[in-house]
Amino acid sequence: MSINVLARNIGRFLILVLIQVFIFNNIHLTSYGVVPVVYILYIILLPFETPKWIVLLLAFFLGFSIDIFSDTLGLNAASSVLIAFIRPGLLNYLAPRTGYEIGSFPRIYYQGANWFLKYSISLVLIHQVSYYLLESFGFDNFWVLLYKVFIASLISMILIVISQYTIFRK
């Protein structure tokens, strides 16, 4: 990983944590307190060549950073580590026959909208299901849980796709 890519990833980490904490954590979409999640974009956009153990470590620190400011007792850290654990398998499953080009990234610009939507929707849904399942600690209010997951995933995906066309164009 070059110094340029490393610097961009450190900057992206800090910016996404600050945006999540100061903007999106203050937006409650429903009476149930559903919050859009954009910080997982950091895990989604990590380069293909990033070693698995580094992805897991970064995901923990990312989720833990959000937990510290959100007072969520490890929910974000656990959900982030889960998607970081699933990410390599998902990338292998979605890989083209020739594999990923060296130096390309998991973005709409490099992989196309269809590929990116499959990839990011999968990770966002897994993150939201694990987060709200851990938060409720059961299936007592299954329909409320499903509603929270649906709303949070939908809004988060809209924000992630918008970011792909505005901020992370290349």
Q: What is the pLDDT of residues 107-165, one digit of tens each?
A: 888 788 899 999 999 999 999 999 999 988 877 788 888 999 999 999 999 999 999 88
State pTM to two decimals. 0.90
Burial of 85 (C-beta count, 10 Å sphere; 0-12/13-18/19+): middle
Provide the number of structural domains found in the chain. Answer: 1
- Give the pLDDT of residue 81: 97
Q: What is the pLDDT of residues 77-92, one digit of tens each?
A: 999 999 999 999 999 8
Q: What is the pLDDT of residues 58-79, one digit of tens each?
A: 999 999 999 999 888 899 999 9
Tokens describing residue 142? 């299954």
Q: What is the pLDDT of residues 10-41, one digit of tens each?
A: 888 999 999 999 999 888 877 777 889 999 99
Number of H helices, E strands in the chain: 7, 0
Helix boundaries (H) for 49-141 = 52-70, 75-94, 108-111, 113-136
Q: Which residue has the tokens 């164009």?
A: 169
Range of the domain at 132: 3-166
